[in-house]
Structure 1
């Protein structure tokens, strides 16, 4: 499965894990997750849903909606889909550090524990540092320099540097959260009753 298909599957399962959705609402929420850089078409969504239906990860329920009494298909996650989502969201391997996979995993970070988050954040930071080092070394001109190519390279380097700072801040916050002692919970006492 391609990384785009895997990211889409993760996103669909994550959203359906929250609540059942019909196709239009699912597409709308997916577009919010993917952001302005990628608009998801129905031509991508429905084949992905069909694959997940065949794999038993989701099911379709038909409901009647509105005044027109038009039937609407609502998608729900199955137990197999929940297990697949749980496995995908906690996978900390190299695919979790790539652009699209990382974005989708980050969107569902609240469902993972701190160790998983740290491994993914640190892996992503390492991958971006490699990318930055390569971009800086590739920037050395070997011939005539096109102004616009140079500007595009500068923009790419600044974008990666900005994301590296952001990741470092997130990693620091995760470490601080792990190290901060839990505030003691007050003991529950039964009041003394004078009888």
Structure 2
């Protein structure tokens, strides 16, 4: 998966998996889902959509081609984008992958937002990989803090402490998620219905926003 463009591509395909949307609606959904973590703009969204159309992963149709009787003449047309069969297959392949890229900072939030479309084994592998990566980072920060503590002023030390607490908190959060996933596999509970990716992403956003604000 390419870096920033790959992240946006997965987010777009994941949202279109729920329902066709025009570009403006997609942008709103992206900002709602991940706006706290990265800024998506028309400048990056529309080239992504154009590329996905070119590759046959989505289609774009003019929603105003057959306007309703009450539609105003001269109203700006909107292209409605829809996932193709190839797009669904490509998205399924991406969401089933669980290599190191999936748990890196750049990609983890987007992959987590679409855990509702991801199988349980892949979810666990990604969560465990993320936890391992953060544990390694935590050890490195602690070692660095021990070496430099005497040379830092009180404000830098406080910032360092805040960073440690932030990573420790995320590790605990991941521990809870992993335990929950393993528990669900041992004793699957009946479900009344599976949430859509958009609904799942909205629920995830509140959890991630708190972590994002703490990082600031």
- TM-score normalized by structure 1? 0.86
Which is richer in helix? 2
Match of 1:165 in 2: 172
Q: CA RMSD in A?
A: 1.8
Relative contact order, CA 8 A, sep 6+: which one is greater?
Answer: 2
Q: Against the structure 1 CA distance between its residues 113 and 144, is the aligned structure 2 distance closer, same or farther, given a 3 Å change threshold? A: same
Match of 2:206 in 1: none
Q: How many residues align?
A: 183
CA distance in 1, matches of 2:150, 2:181: 45
Instruction: State yes or no: 1:59 paired with 2:81.
Output: no
Instruction: State yes or no: 1:179 paired with 2:179.
Output: no
- TM-score normalized by structure 2? 0.78
CA distance in 2, matches of 1:77, 1:60: 9
Match of 2:35 in 1: 35
Q: Against the structure 1 CA distance between its residues 149 and 182, is the aligned structure 2 distance closer, same or farther, given a 3 Å change threshold? A: closer
Matches within 5 A, 1:70-85: 70-85=76-91
CA distance in 2, matches of 1:17, 1:182: 25
CA distance in 2, matches of 1:37, 1:110: 20
CA distance in 1, matches of 2:2, 2:149: 35
CA distance in 2, matches of 1:171, 1:71: 46
Q: Against the structure 1 CA distance between its residues 86 and 143, is the aligned structure 2 distance closer, same or farther, given a 3 Å change threshold? A: same
Q: Against the structure 1 CA distance between its residues 182 and 70, is the aligned structure 2 distance closer, same or farther, given a 3 Å change threshold? A: closer
Q: Against the structure 1 CA distance between its residues 37 and 105, is the aligned structure 2 distance closer, same or farther, given a 3 Å change threshold? A: closer
> Which digits, 9 at most, give the CA deviation of each residue in 1:11-69, with x for residues without a partner?
00000111111111101111122131322111111111122122111111101265354
Match of 2:121 in 1: 115
Of the three residues 146, 149, 156, the one matched with 2:153 is 146
Match of 2:101 in 1: 95
Alpha-carbon distance, 1:70 to partner: 3.0
Match of 1:8 in 2: 8
* Greater C-alpha Rg: 1
Match of 1:137 in 2: 143
